[in-house]
Amino acid sequence: MAQTKLAAALALLALASCKTSSPPAGQAGAPEGKSPAAAARVPAQATAPAPAVPGIDPAILDATVKPCDDFYRYACGGWMARTPIPPDRSRWNRSFSVIEESNLVRLREIAEADAAGKVDPADRYGAKVGAYYAACMDEAGIEARGVEHLQAAWAHIDAAADVPALAVQVARLHAHGVSAFFSIGSEQDAKDATQVIGVVEQGGLSLPDRDYYLKDDPKSAAIQQSYREHLARMLVLAGEDGPRAGCEAEAVYALERSLAESHWTRVEQRDPKRVYNRVDLVGLERAAPRFPWKDYLRDLGYPDLTAFNATTPRALTRLDEVLAKTPPATIRAYLRWKVLAAASTARALPRRFFDERFAFSSKNFTGAKEPVARWKGCVRATDEALGEALGQAFVRRYFGADGKVKSQELVAGVEAAMGKDLDGLAWMDGPTRGRAREKLAKVANKVGYPDRWRDYDALTLDRSSYFASVLAARAFEQHRQLAKIGKPLDRNEWEMSPPTVNAYYDGSMNEMAFPAGILQPPMYARGAPEAVNYGAIGVVVGHELTHGFDDQGRQYDAVGNLTDWWTPSVSAEFDRRVSCVADQFSGYTAVDEVKLNGRLTLGENIADLGGVKLSHAAYAASRKGKPPEAPVAGFSPEQAFFLGFAQAWCESTRPEQARMYAAVDPHSPGRWRVNGPLSNLPEFAKAFSCPAGSAMVRPPEKRCEVW
């Protein structure tokens, strides 16, 4: 409570000497023509990067390192020594990054053709894809318009004099996907996976995590100061005078810090039971009575919503305290900042805003040397807004129905390996094993692209205004999410667009998804040795499947309900086994003096360990009855499997990014995603004849094994 009073007092003090009037609409703190940096840039010609060798690339090994001492450096050391991180990147990965760059070039070709009116008749929404991409690429129009749209949005906020009026503005922001104070959306009811309810989650921060506000070490203090200065500079760029901008920056920071105090840590949020707090509308009103929930929901456009999951109850309590103690002028400043931050991040404002945000982010979080090219940002934005429209052309050109069939065969093989694994687990009793087998049998697999494409008919875009198009796309998506509440569950829906270079497992749906974007060389190459494909994409499949049985996923049953289906003794043994994994990874260094948080990365580490084991077993099963595969680049098929796995994770990361990832990313760095699991696998030690006592061979008493 002492911290709460301090934060509220700071917010009040910070605005005590600030003028409360807004600058005239259209007034800005810098000329609205192109910045010198923008004028000097010439768009580079886009060429797809050369794909990595689909197989084992002996040229990227480091032969000075023994595989049993540090397998990651042995497999990737040559690549790391000769492959600089591109200046616009904070991390570069041999497979994921290369595939993403290649996909960006392919998607650019599609988007530019659509923007030029050369729409493929097979693309129902090609014109909308073209309009969105063209609006994003219209730098001259964005510069000429300046802060016109921003000032119009601010005018609505500045007209709000009290909490009820400010709640209307919060609703307006939330309706357009801008998080302020908290976020609202939809999700399956964790205790009844057939139902979709509303979800109210902690939110409203601008720094990457609560701890960036709360830690008081020198580096954290420097970031906090840098953020306040950045916030003030952004306000000046938007037209506010220096003294007022400084006052508002301090006030906004103090308000966000107060919100951060109420947020749960990322480790706490990993507990599905902890973040399930079903309430009705009365429950929300009881938690934060000063916030006019009924008026808010009405202005959001959903006055009849009554069922919610309040993931972090104490964040609602803090919302009520903030409303009680914070002057309306501070709240207005905060809401204005949220609009400004969202618009500048989307590159919907003049270049000077993006340059300032890039400078702040690069210095404190990413270490990137130059910003991402505009066309890349616009391709990514178009994919985010119209992913299943842009994705249809991508799938037709670069994946196809045959790609889906081949990928499904590999997925089935890994699932069969999981079934055999379950049958052989000595630590699992009969009743729990039966329920685990039932869950495995009901895992739904989404491969490549949706069976039914998303409808974008209701999305109206303004080709002449990227600011307006961004808001329209966000409003469309927010409406799509909120409209699910109370409706039948759509099990066809995907959480990622087809071109995405990623994959996921969803516990409430009990499903895995592997978009066409990741099913590309070198992660997956038709015609590559099976050992390599199983080592690369096969491990990804095993990884996602294991998520269904990691420390989070295991809490959901076969139909996606959050329920305890484990007998007490088996549950206790599972906890003991995953504690081994948490302790192992907590001993690894992320960067400099920063250690990994083994509890934050626990689920991903369990999945990595299970993924390698399952895919290796699936590969062995796939070769039964067949002649052995030929050696790959001089390596036996067994060795090629593990090299295919390791070389998929070759990466380099800038120290600023590595430090941030250690705080917020549930994944371990590439080195530990390789060495951590493999040091627990006797199959790896056998493949490379690693003697006991080697760095890559954990002694039996320290070996971690879950699945």
φ/ψ of 61, rounded to 5, equals -75, 160
**Count of all residues that appear for the chain in the document:** 707
With H, G, I as helix, E, B as strand and everything else as coil, classify residue 307.
Answer: strand
> Residue 546: what residue type?
T
Among candidate residues 57, 158, 388, 544, the one labeled active-site is 544
Q: What is the C-alpha to C-alpha distance for residues 11 and 362, in angstroms, rounded to an integer?
A: 28
**How many C-beta atoms surround the C-beta of residue 586 within 10 A?**
15
CA 568, 569, 574, 577: dihedral to nearest 10 degrees?
140
Q: Is cis: bond before 522, omega within 30 of 0?
A: yes
Q: What is the C-alpha to C-alpha distance for residues 707 and 697, in angstroms, rounded to an integer?
A: 18
Please check whether residue 447 is in contact with residue 411, taking contact to mean a CB–CB distance below 8 angstroms: yes
Please check whether residue 600 is in contact with residue 582, taking contact to mean a CB–CB distance below 8 angstroms: no
**How many C-beta atoms surround the C-beta of residue 203 within 10 A?**
17
- Sorted by sequence, the CB contacts under 8 Å of residue 430 that are 6+ apart come out as none
HEC secondary structure over 82-133: HCCCCCCCCEEECCHHHHHHHHHHHHHHHHHHHHCCCCCCCCCCHHHHHHHH
How far, in Å, are 29, 112, 309, 370, 561 from residue 142 at the CA level? 16, 18, 39, 21, 47
Q: What is the C-alpha to C-alpha distance for residues 11 and 330, in angstroms, rounded to an integer?
A: 7
Give DSSP secondary structure letters for 589-657: EEETTEEP-TTTSHHHHHHHHHHHHHHHHHHHHHTTTSPPPPPBTTB-HHHHHHHHHHHHT-EEE-HHH
How far, in Å, are 12, 308, 484, 490 from residue 187 at the CA level? 37, 9, 8, 11
Please check whether residue 623 is in contact with residue 641, taking contact to mean a CB–CB distance below 8 angstroms: no
Q: What is the C-alpha to C-alpha distance for residues 521 and 517, in angstroms, rounded to an integer?
A: 10
Tokens at 295, concatenated: 């008026």
Task: Classify strands 589-591 and 594-595 as parallel, antiparallel or unpaired.
Answer: antiparallel
250 is catalytic: no
Among candidate residues 256, 608, 629, 665, the one labeled active-site is 608
Tokens at 208, concatenated: 């990457």
271 is catalytic: no
- Sorted by sequence, the CB contacts under 8 Å of residue 553 that are 6+ apart come out as 505, 507, 546, 547, 603
Catalytic amino acids?
544, 608
